[in-house]
Amino acid sequence: KMSLEWLVAWSWSLDGLRDCIATGIQSVRDCDTTAIVTVACLLVLFVWYCYHVGREQPRPYVSVNSLIQAADANGLQNGYVYCQSPECVRCTHNEGLNQKLYHNLQEYAKRYSWSGMGRIHKGIREQGRYLNSRPSIQKPEVFFLPDLPTTPYFSRDAQKHDVELLERNFQTILCEFEALYKAFSNCSLPQGWKMNSTPSGEWFTYYLVNQGVCVPRNCRKCPRTYRLLGSLRTCIGNNVFGNACISVLSPGTVITEHYGPTNIRIRCHLGLKTPNGCELVVGGEPQCWAEGRCLLFDDSFLHTAFHEGSAEDGPRVVFMVDLWHPNVAAAERQALDFIFAPGR
């Protein structure tokens, strides 16, 4: 009985399979020739794609050192490695950037007002002409705001409140630096520190704010210095041109001449350790740092720094913070923070 039932079920299965095959053949006969050709072409393309992906080799890992070496090979030996990203305002130099800036200005004006935007509008509209026609002594790489007084160095009175506040807190900043610097005895480059490209020597930076973005892990290790930034009246902290960091030059270090990205800021150096043989040269004018004193300069001028002291002299150390140029009005600062906001 079991065998009989199995034979009957098997017979029905064969009948079903035969009917399925017959139906499929009839469907192909009834199909339009164009549809069949289209399906065949898609199938061939799919097989080719699978073959191509299978043969593709994985991309090799690119280290930071190799990027630095590539930058040096292209003549970029100024301590900056450009990312070449079309989204990066700091590293993009083309007409697309000007269009992007103008769009950001329009968006700001719609939300707030065109009042007081004359210089910014003029600067963005004629940015290419400004950047190309500037004398070689001052060529900001990203944005030039017209009609600002230009000078390589500024007096302490340019931002008197912030200068005096930084100098009063000299010992606080110095103590936090010394605690950080002890880590160098355990490893060559402790966590949080960045090594910059230089033709000779070593240049380290420890950022609390990097291009307008706070670095929380580093700030937690320098809590009093970080809180001090919040007390500065003219600190640039909300756009890509704002930085705050500890900068260390070892003996024998030279930073190749280069230009900063904009003239809307003053770069302030508070001397923490300033041995002999160290100089900053801005626009061809040399100056020396002094411990506990601030040195203000416009880094959109061609500038360099070097430490020609001996190993016994120890490193040159400054606390660097970017302040607003005193002639950038409050309304302009608000607009520039919006236009050059990190990630915009």
Tens digits of per-residue pLDDT, 286-301?
Answer: 999 999 999 999 999 9
Arithmetic mean of pLDDT, 250-273: 97
State the Cα–Cα distance between residues 183 and 18, nearest whole angstrom.
80
Domain ranges of the chain: 153-329
Arithmetic mean of pLDDT, 198-211: 95
- Three-state DSSP at 143 gives strand
State the Cα–Cα distance between residues 217 and 209, nearest whole angstrom.
11
Tell me how crowded residue 261 is: count the other CB atoms within 10 A of its CB.
21
The pLDDT score that the predictor gives to residue 91 is 55
Has residue 122 got a pLDDT over 70? yes
The pLDDT score that the predictor gives to residue 148 is 94
Arithmetic mean of pLDDT, 26-55: 64
Better pLDDT: 11 or 150: 150
What whole-number percentage of the chain has pLDDT above 90? 64
State the Cα–Cα distance between residues 207 and 286, nearest whole angstrom.
26
The pLDDT score that the predictor gives to residue 44 is 75
Segments in the chain forming alpha helices (H)? 2-30, 33-55, 64-73, 95-111, 118-125, 127-133, 160-168, 170-181, 216-221, 223-231, 330-339
The pLDDT score that the predictor gives to residue 17 is 56
The pLDDT score that the predictor gives to residue 68 is 32
Mean per-residue pLDDT over the chain, rounded: 83
Better pLDDT: 42 or 29: 42
- In CATH, what class is 153-329? mainly beta
Tens digits of per-residue pLDDT, 50-97?
Answer: 655 454 433 333 332 333 333 334 444 344 444 444 445 555 555 678
Q: Which residues fall within 8 angstroms of residue 254, CB to CB, at 6 or more apart? A: 198, 199, 200, 201, 304, 305, 306, 307
The pLDDT score that the predictor gives to residue 70 is 39
Cβ contact 224:237 at 8 Å: no
Segment among 8-12, 55-59, 231-235, 333-337 with least mean pLDDT:
55-59
Arithmetic mean of pLDDT, 259-279: 97
Better pLDDT: 7 or 69: 7
Better pLDDT: 79 or 217: 217
